[in-house]
Amino acid sequence: MTSTRIHNNMTSTRLHNMISTRLHNLISTILHNTMTSTRLHNMTSTRLHNMTSTRLHNMTSTRLHNMISTRLHNMVSTILQNNMTSTRLNNMTSTRLHNMTSTKLHNMTSTWLHNLTSTRLHNMTSTRLHNMTSTRLHNMTSTRLHNMISTRLHNITSTRLHNMTSTRLHNMTSTRLHNMTSTRLHNMTSTRLHNMASTRLQNNMTSTRLHNMTSTKLHNMTSTWLHNMTSTRLHNMTSTRLHNNMTSTRLHNMTSTRLHNMTSTRQHNMTSTRQHNMTSTRLHKTTTSTRLHNMTSTRLHNMTSTRLHNNTTSTRLHNMTSTRLHKNTTSTRLHNMTSTRLHNMTSTRLHNMTSTRLHNMTSTRIHENTTSTRLHNMTSTRLHNMTSTRLQNMTSTRLHNNMTSTDYTTT
């Protein structure tokens, strides 16, 4: 009887030690030796990078490029170049041109918005979208346009305008305008955005800095950078064109006060309420209630009002400029200048600004800023601790509970 108890006690103890020790060593050795930091890093970061960047790149750049540039090119070039002769363009009033352009642009925009799947819209949180959109819209639209136009027009003195001869305007050919506009916009937008975004994100942002950088800091940095970059470029580009394209006699007769009052009043009257009413009325005629219901009003208003505002502003500027320049400029030059500049400005800027920035920002931050140390420490340590501790506790506890009582073990 005593020998049987001793034998049983010895056997249970040996079994307990043997099983728990072997299980612990086996699991820890497999986890430690088989999953090195290189394998974990390659497995996690590569899969994450390939899955995210490839899907985003294919989904974003290709769809946006095909959908925006091709449709804009076909629509704008066909309408403006083939169907609008110089006689029709001359006879078409500014109101008719504005209504036709804004309606077609709106229909094209709403179709593009509808093609964006509901899953992508749902995954994009409303807070992030609101902060990003409202800040950029506020900085880019009302304050900047008002300050830029009113201040610059007020500061242009009559002496500078008087000394600017009409001969200089006449000698500026459509070819020079086309080359200067498309080349400058393309080189200035795509190269600067790509270099600034990739260099700053890849070289200057270490993993520690990115980890410590909260969403608020990232938002403030991005909005400020966009504001500074856009306002400076718009100011330089617009002031040069205004300086070159305005004849001396007409601008001399039109005082700075009159220009300021006319521009600021029109800008002030075109408020967000008017844009919202105009957009919702057009949407109601061309869109079913189901699509309107699925598409949130806030995002639709923000996105559509920005595009309509930009397109309305460019159309108004074009109408104002074309009417004033018509006396001194041939219809052929006006036709070439309008269609070429609209096409190059719209398709190139939208394509370069959207696909390059989205791809660089997403893939670079995910791939470059996630170090192997963080991935290895986070994955291997948690897996090892969680697995070995649970298995050891589960095995030892079950073995201990299945053993005999204290007297039996002591005996």
CA–CA separation, 218 vs 369, rounded Å? 14
| Structural domain includes residue 235 | yes
The runs of H, that is alpha helices, within 32-173 are: 37-41, 47-49, 55-56, 63-64, 71-72, 86-91, 94-115, 118-123, 126-138, 144-155, 158-163, 166-171
The verdict on residue 376 lying in a domain is no
- Provide the pLDDT for residue 395: 54
pLDDT > 60? residue 21: yes
Give a yes or no: residue 135 inside a domain.
yes
pLDDT tens, residue by residue, 309-319: 444 444 444 44
The pLDDT of residue 308 is above 50: no
Tokens 């073995």 belong to: 399
Interatomic CA distance for residues 293 and 159, integer angstroms: 57
**Residue of 25 and 216 predicted with greater confidence:** 25
Tell me the backbone φ, ψ of residue 271, rounded to 5 degrees: -90, 175
Global confidence as pTM: 0.14
Is 78 a domain residue?
Answer: no
Would you say residue 8 has pLDDT above 50?
Answer: yes
Domain total in the chain? 1
Q: How many Å apart are CA 333 and CA 327, to the nearest integer?
A: 12
Name the residue with higher pLDDT: 323 or 73.
73
Task: Answer yes or no: are the C-beta atoms of 334 and 325 closer than 8 Å.
Answer: yes
- Whether residue 22 is predicted with pLDDT greater than 60 in this model: the reply is yes
Q: What pLDDT, on a 0 to 100 scale, did the predictor assign at position 273?
A: 46
| 301 Cβ neighbours under 8 A, 6+ residues apart | 276, 279
Residue 410 in this model has a pLDDT that exceeds 50: no
Nearest to 360 by CA among 220, 203, 217: 203
User: pLDDT tier at 31 (50, 70, 90 boundaries)?
Assistant: low
92-95 CB contacts, 8 Å cutoff, 24+ apart: 94/319, 94/322, 94/323
What is the domain range of residue 222? 126-370
Asked if residue 236 is part of any domain, the answer here is yes
In this prediction, residues 195-222 reach a mean pLDDT of 47
* Region of residue 214 (phi > 0: left; psi between -120 and 50: alpha; otherwise: beta): beta
82, part of any domain: no
| Helix spans in 246-296 (H) | 248-253, 256-269, 272-286, 289-294
262-282 pLDDT, tens digit per residue, is 444 444 444 444 444 444 444
Task: Report the pLDDT value the prediction gives residue 389, as an integer from 0 to 100.
Answer: 53
Is 314 domain-assigned? yes
Asked if residue 80 belongs to a domain, the reply is no
Per-residue pLDDT reduced to its tens digit, 164-177: 444 444 444 444 54
pLDDT at residue number 384: 54
